[in-house]
């Protein structure tokens, strides 16, 4: 270990502010020695044991607080070093006093993420697990916490491990064929190499596709609710938010500005944006014109566009204009997907509501929508008044961005750009190697591509990650984590 790693570090590990309990954590060779003068314990610290005692005022020797101290002996601790955790009442003044006294005894204040970085450097965690610690701390929905917990448990590393083992085996076999040809070790045939590369590539390609879903679970997405005035956009918005967030009246054009609210839909963070009704600017005042302009901006920036149509009146020219705005020149939506809600289904005539022949298709809009397989946007019959179709709408919203990859929830998946780039590097190396096999390139050159692929997998778990990358990753952590 280098000099920095040998230093004993200290920090408050609980959240900033007042609470019932606050924890100060020390990690390093001198953790027990530094904490000893601060505590008057009923029993001596022992590995894996919690000891009740008191926090002592260094100046007067008086008791400041009651506390519980727990000792974790190396290497059986979070960081792989000796760790002492002092749990006292969550007074910021008291916790800061404990930290200052530890520093006076020779400890150093920990940098953000330094405890987890030491765990990584000690081999207690790989880099995907270390990143999962930060994701778990920052999770805002239960689904995010579940995904982070699976990553922390090594789900991604376990997915990559057999692929990496096969790649290393292929490299070793080819190296042996080159280095020991005089010892009657056969050089691998091109067909055998190509088959093994294809076998290695398949699970990596599936893993690479998981990033689309993993990213939205981790970061969430934006959904813009658009449509003409009085179609029920704000009522649907309130239904999805589950409270009266937007003002709703019978008068058209009530919403003059965008209204945003962050909610969780099937455990995924979604920023819902209620927009002003889209219609011809003629006859509207300046405030509504500005609202319409913001509606179009929100629609352009959204990952999903939900077009709300009044099922009692059917598709109109204003809806056609929205469809044209939401669709690109090549038939793809500005956002990732386009959904259509036939609202007020409780009042609609049977032939107008969604189901059966699609009024959108009848109106000739099939070429404008992004789903080439269905040729129409996904349609849901809803009633903001009765709640009919709201559950189906929620499911459609998530599937619009998750697609078939929503089934990856129980498996390891890529959740950030660094992981995605590492797998892309591995795939590029395999593709280059496959091309080299087809071109009958000498094995010595082909191995360079395979080693490039291996470097990508090493970077994913942290085996070959540079110190600069490590600094960027752990600097995003909180102090004390």
Between 140 and 278, whose confidence is greater? 140
- Choosing from 384, 400, 425, the residue where a domain stops is 384
Using the 8-state DSSP alphabet, how is residue 355 labeled?
Answer: S
CATH number of 76's domain: 3.30.1360.120
Give the position of tokens 């590393």.
Answer: 157
Domain count, the chain: 3
Strand partners, 307: 226, 340
Give the position of tokens 């040809």.
Answer: 181
Instruction: Say which range, 10-19, 24-33, 176-185, has the weakest mean pLDDT.
Output: 176-185
> Tokens for 394?
């929620």
Do 60 and 207 fall within a single domain?
no
Do 10 and 120 fall within a single domain?
yes
pLDDT of residue 377: 61
Do 362 and 271 fall within a single domain?
yes
Between 185 and 35, whose confidence is greater? 35
- Choosing from 95, 124, 153, the residue where a domain stops is 124
Is 48 within 8 Å of 34 (Cβ atoms)?
A: no
If pLDDT is split at 50, 70 and 90, which confidence band does 186 have?
low
Question: Residue 373: pLDDT above 50?
Answer: no
Do 372 and 446 fall within a single domain?
no
- What sign for the dihedral angle of Cα 45, 51, 53, 55? positive
Do 18 and 30 fall within a single domain?
yes
Do 274 and 307 fall within a single domain?
yes
pLDDT of residue 409: 56
Do 175 and 70 fall within a single domain?
no
CA 14 to chain centre: 23
Domain of 271? 220-384
If pLDDT is split at 50, 70 and 90, which confidence band does 226 have?
confident
Q: How many CB atoms lie within 10 A of CB 186?
A: 10
Give the C-alpha separation, 319 to 10, whole Å. Answer: 61
Instruction: Say which range, 160-169, 352-361, 441-450, has the weakest mean pLDDT.
Output: 352-361
Between 392 and 11, whose confidence is greater? 11
- Which residues, in sequence order, are CB contacts of 265 under 8 Å at separation 6+? 240, 394, 397, 398
Q: pLDDT tens digit string along 52-95?
A: 999 999 888 899 999 999 999 999 999 999 999 999 999 999 99
Do 273 and 152 fall within a single domain?
no
> Tokens for 169?
């085996």
Tell me, yes or no, whether 17 lies in a domain.
yes
Mean pLDDT of the 230-237 span: 80
Tell me, yes or no, whether 339 lies in a domain.
yes
Tell me, yes or no, whether 481 lies in a domain.
no
Question: Residue 481: pLDDT above 60?
Answer: yes
Q: pLDDT tens digit string along 283-338?
A: 555 555 666 667 677 777 788 888 888 888 777 777 776 666 665 433 333 344 78
Do 346 and 210 fall within a single domain?
no
pLDDT of residue 358: 45
Tell me, yes or no, whether 405 lies in a domain.
no
CATH number of 350's domain: 3.40.50.300
Do 120 and 226 fall within a single domain?
no
Question: Residue 266: pLDDT above 50?
Answer: yes
pLDDT of residue 193: 92
Tell me, yes or no, whether 347 lies in a domain.
yes
Tell me, yes or no, whether 397 lies in a domain.
no
Give the C-alpha separation, 418 to 420, whole Å. Answer: 5
Ranked by mean pLDDT, which of 173-177, 322-326, 368-372 comes out on top? 173-177
Instruction: Say which range, 13-22, 61-70, 199-208, 340-349, has the weakest mean pLDDT.
Output: 340-349
pLDDT of residue 362: 39
Counting other chains too, the contacts that 114-118 makes at CB distance below 8 Å and 24 or more residues apart are 114/9, 114/11, 114/474, 115/9, 115/11, 115/13, 115/25, 115/27, 115/78, 115/79, 115/480, 115/481, 116/474, 116/477, 116/481, 117/470, 117/474, 118/5, 118/9, 118/27, 118/79, 118/80, 118/81
Do 227 and 353 fall within a single domain?
yes
Determine what percent of the chain falls in helix, strand and coil, rounding each to the nearest 5.
Answer: 45, 20, 35
Q: pLDDT tens digit string along 120-167?
A: 999 999 999 999 998 888 888 888 888 889 889 989 989 999 999 999
Give the C-alpha separation, 225 to 223, whole Å. Answer: 7
Tell me, yes or no, whether 404 lies in a domain.
no
Is 336 within 8 Å of 304 (Cβ atoms)?
A: yes
- What sign for the dihedral angle of Cα 26, 109, 151, 429? negative
pLDDT of residue 8: 95
pLDDT of residue 199: 95
pLDDT of residue 441: 87
CATH number of 176's domain: 1.20.120.430
Give the C-alpha separation, 359 to 369, whole Å. Answer: 14
In whole numbers, what is the pLDDT of the chain averaged over residues? 80
pLDDT of residue 105: 93
pLDDT of residue 361: 40
If pLDDT is split at 50, 70 and 90, which confidence band does 217 have?
confident
pLDDT of residue 371: 40
Give the position of tokens 């937007």.
Answer: 246
Mean pLDDT of the 457-471 span: 81
- Choosing from 76, 91, 124, the residue where a domain stops is 124
pLDDT of residue 326: 60
pLDDT of residue 357: 40
Rounded-to-10 torsion of CA 82, 60, 101, 67: 50
Mean pLDDT of the 240-263 span: 62
Do 245 and 336 fall within a single domain?
yes
Tell me, yes or no, whether 425 lies in a domain.
yes
Question: Residue 239: pLDDT above 80?
Answer: yes
Instruction: Say which range, 352-361, 372-381, 433-442, has the weakest mean pLDDT.
Output: 352-361
């Amino acid at each position: 270990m280098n000099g920095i790693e040998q230093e004993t570090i200290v920090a408050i590990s609980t959240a900033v502010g007042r609470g019932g309990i606050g924890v100060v954590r020390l990690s390093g060779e001198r953790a027990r020695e530094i904490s000893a003068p601060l505590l008057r314990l009923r029993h001596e610290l022992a590995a894996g044991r919690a000891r009740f005692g008191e926090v002592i005022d260094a100046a007067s020797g008086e008791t400041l607080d009651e506390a519980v101290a727990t000792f974790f002996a190396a290497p059986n601790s979070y960081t792989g070093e000796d760790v002492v955790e002092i749990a006292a009442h969550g007074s910021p003044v008291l916790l800061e006093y404990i930290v200052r006294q530890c520093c006076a005894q020779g400890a150093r204040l920990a940098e953000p993420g330094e405890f987890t970085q030491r765990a990584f450097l000690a081999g207690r965690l790989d880099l995907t697990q270390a990143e999962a610690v930060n994701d778990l701390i920052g999770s805002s929905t239960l689904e995010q916490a579940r995904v982070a917990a699976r990553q922390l448990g090594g789900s991604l590393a376990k997915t990559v491990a057999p692929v990496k083992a096969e790649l290393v085996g292929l490299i070793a076999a080819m190296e042996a064929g080159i280095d020991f040809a005089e010892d009657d070790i056969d050089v691998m045939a091109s067909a055998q190499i190509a088959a093994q590369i294809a076998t290695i590539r398949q699970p990596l390609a599936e893993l690479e596709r998981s990033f689309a879903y993993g990213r939205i679970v981790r970061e969430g997405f934006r959904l813009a609710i658009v449509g003409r005035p009085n179609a029920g956009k704000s009522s649907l918005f309130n239904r999805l938010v589950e409270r009266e967030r937007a003002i709703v009246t019978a008068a058209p054009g009530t919403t003059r500005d965008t209204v945003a609210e962050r909610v969780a839909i099937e455990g995924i963070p979604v920023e819902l944006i209620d927009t002003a009704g889209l219609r011809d600017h003629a006859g509207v005042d300046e405030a509504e014109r500005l609202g319409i302009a913001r509606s179009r901006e929100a629609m352009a920036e959204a990952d999903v566009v939900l077009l709300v149509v009044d099922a009692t009146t059917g598709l109109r020219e204003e809806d056609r204009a929205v469809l044209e705005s939401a669709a690109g020149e090549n038939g793809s939506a500005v956002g990732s997907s386009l959904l259509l809600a036939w609202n007020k289904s409780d009042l609609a005539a049977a032939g107008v509501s969604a189901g059966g022949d699609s009024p959108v298709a009848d109106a000739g809009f099939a070429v404008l929508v992004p789903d080439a397989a269905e040729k129409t946007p996904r349609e849901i019959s809803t009633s903001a008044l009765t709640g009919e179709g709201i559950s189906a709408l929620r499911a459609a919203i998530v599937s619009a961005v998750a697609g078939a990859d929503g089934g990856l929830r129980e498996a390891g998946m890529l959740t950030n750009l660094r992981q995605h780039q590492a797998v892309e590097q591995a795939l590029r190396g395999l593709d280059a190697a496959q091309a080299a096999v087809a071109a009958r390139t000498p094995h010595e050159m082909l191995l360079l591509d395979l080693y490039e692929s291996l470097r990508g997998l090493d970077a994913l778990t942290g085996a070959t990650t540079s110190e600069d990358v490590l600094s960027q990753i752990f600097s995003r952590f909180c102090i004390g984590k």
